[in-house]
Amino acid sequence: MPDNPGAREDPYISVVVPVYNEEENLALLHQRLTVTLEKITSRYEIIMVDDGSQDGSLGLITKLAEQDPHVKFISFTRNFGHESATTAGLDFASGDAVVIIDADLQDPPEVIEEMVTRWREGYEVVYGKRRGRRKEPVTKKLSSFLFYRLMRKIADVDVPLDTGDFRLIDRKMVEHFHKLRERNRFIRLEIAWLGGRTKEVLYDREPRHAGKTKYNFSKRLRLSIDGIVSFSAFPLRFMSYIGFIIFFLSIAAILVVLVQKLFFDIQIPGYAFLVISLFALGGVQILLLGFLGEYIARIYKEVQSRPHYLIDLMGGFDGEKDGRETLS
Ligand code: UDP
Ligand code: MG
């Protein structure tokens, strides 16, 4: 397997952290990241992306950036969402390898060391795979379990199971990722879509260090629908399958009725069949129109082509990437 050119000697490593109301986690996160990264290389940056936090996160981040030249930050004008925050971090990261990690310490920073080892062996995407999930609600475990298995079945990409965004990506793959600028992002699936040489690293997912999850049921559902619609035309194809089956069944039913009437002279009460087929067809039509709506909504968003995020403040970056800037 070929070496990754950037992995030789003293690689430059970027760590991207999306942050939304994580004031209680930032100090410990910074400390643990620093200890781990110092072991690996002296050349690294920690990019904290403040996704419009309403608590003291931004204040803490700017203070960290003042104290530690490795820390850089981007802050948004409002909450644009986890996927947008991660996108911004990837846009501004300049490392030979970029690691994405959650701010809440569910992804142990120490695992980065093993990820870098695998990267040095030549793997271009090294993703963290959860060995087990402790103390998470059963509903969440079950829905993730089902979602990723469903995605594997119907999506056009090979989705690694039991993984989040915690992963290391080689520079080459980051450059490829920049070519994907769709509006409804689902980064872990997009990275799977990129392909490349991939390797997993097993880790124990910790419970959140402090604070509450920033994802509620509807945000999670939204993300799942985005994932399915972005990566699979299955619901659209499913529409034509259903349409075909219903058409076939109705032809068969007509034939049955005709045969009974013409050859056996059996009278069949018509209304039961009518009522049932009315409801069945009505239901199917509404469902399928819903699917169609999902795709149309997506086209609408793509046509609008709004930027993924708007930057209010930046700090710690050098050169032309400093100052107020808007990147889509
Ligand atoms: N996050 C973000 N913007 C949001 C929601 C979440 O930047 O709108 C960040 C959050 O601060 C954390 C990461 O995304 O670093 C994952 O969020 P969380 O831990 O709440 O999700 P969970 O682990 O519960 O799936
Ligand atoms: Mg979390």
> pLDDT exceeding 70 applies to what percent of the chain?
92
- Give the span between the Cα atoms of 26 and 152, in whole angstroms: 34
Q: pLDDT band for 97, please (50, 70, 90 cuts).
A: very high
Q: How far apart are CA 16 and CA 49, in angstroms?
A: 7
Inform me whether the pLDDT recorded for 299 exceeds 80. yes
Which of 305, 319, 321, 320 shows the shortest CA–CA distance to 74? 321
How many whole angstroms from 170 Cα to the centroid of ligand 1? 23
pLDDT, tens digit (0-9, with 9 covering 90-100), for 14-68: 999 999 999 999 999 999 999 999 999 989 999 999 999 999 999 999 999 999 9
Q: How far apart, in Å, are the Cα atoms of 124 and each of 25, 52, 127, 160?
A: 29, 31, 10, 15
Question: Does the CB atom of residue 193 touch ligand 1 within 6 A?
Answer: no
Report the pLDDT value the prediction gives residue 271, as an integer from 0 to 100: 67
Confidence of residue 272 (pLDDT cuts 50, 70, 90): low
SS3 134: coil
**pLDDT value of residue 319:** 61
Which of 77, 107, 140, 215 should be mutated for ligand 1, with most atoms under 8 A from CB? 215
> For residues 151 and 187, which has the higher predicted lDDT (pLDDT)?
187
Ligand 1 in reach of 82 Cβ (< 6 A) = yes
Confidence at residue 208, expressed as pLDDT on a 0 to 100 scale: 87
Q: Which residues, other chains included, contact 303 with Cβ-Cβ below 8 Å and sequence gap of 6+?
A: none
pLDDT tens readout for residues 204-232: 888 888 899 888 888 888 888 888 877 77
For residue 76, give every residue at least 6 positions away whose Cβ sits within 8 Å of its Cβ, in sequence order, or none. 49, 50, 51, 52, 84, 85, 88, 309, 310, 311, 312
**Domain limits of the chain?**
11-232+307-322, 234-304
Residue with tokens 């760590």: 15
Please name every residue paired with 205 in a beta bridge, in sequence order, or none if there are none: 133
Tens digit of pLDDT for each residue in 175-187? 999 988 777 788 8
Q: What percent of the chain is predicted at pLDDT more than 90?
A: 43
310/153 Cα distance (integer angstroms): 36
Q: What pLDDT score does 328 carry?
A: 42
- Name the band, by pLDDT with cuts 50, 70 and 90, for residue 241: confident
Ligand 1, residue 103: give the atom nearest the CA.
15
Judge if the beta carbon of residue 96 lies within 6 A of ligand 1: no
Q: Where are the alpha helices (DSSP H) in the chain?
A: 26-40, 57-67, 82-92, 111-120, 138-154, 171-178, 187-194, 217-231, 234-259, 270-304
Q: Is the beta carbon of 80 within 6 A of some atom in ligand 1?
A: no
Alpha-carbon span 261 to 163, nearest angstrom: 60
pTM to 2 decimal places: 0.80
What would the mean pLDDT of 187-198 be, rounded to a whole number?
A: 89
pLDDT (0 to 100) of residue 172: 94
Helix and strand numbers (H, E) in the chain are 10, 8
Identify the CATH homologous superfamily for domain 11-232+307-322.
Spore Coat Polysaccharide Biosynthesis Protein SpsA; Chain A (3.90.550.10)
Of 44 and 10, the structure prediction assigns the larger pLDDT to 44
83 CB neighbour count, 10 Å cutoff: 21
pLDDT at 258: 77
Q: Average model confidence (pLDDT) for the chain?
A: 85
**Rounded distance between C-alpha atoms, residue 186 and residue 180, angstroms:** 11
- Residue 144's CB is within 10 A of a number of other CB atoms, namely 18
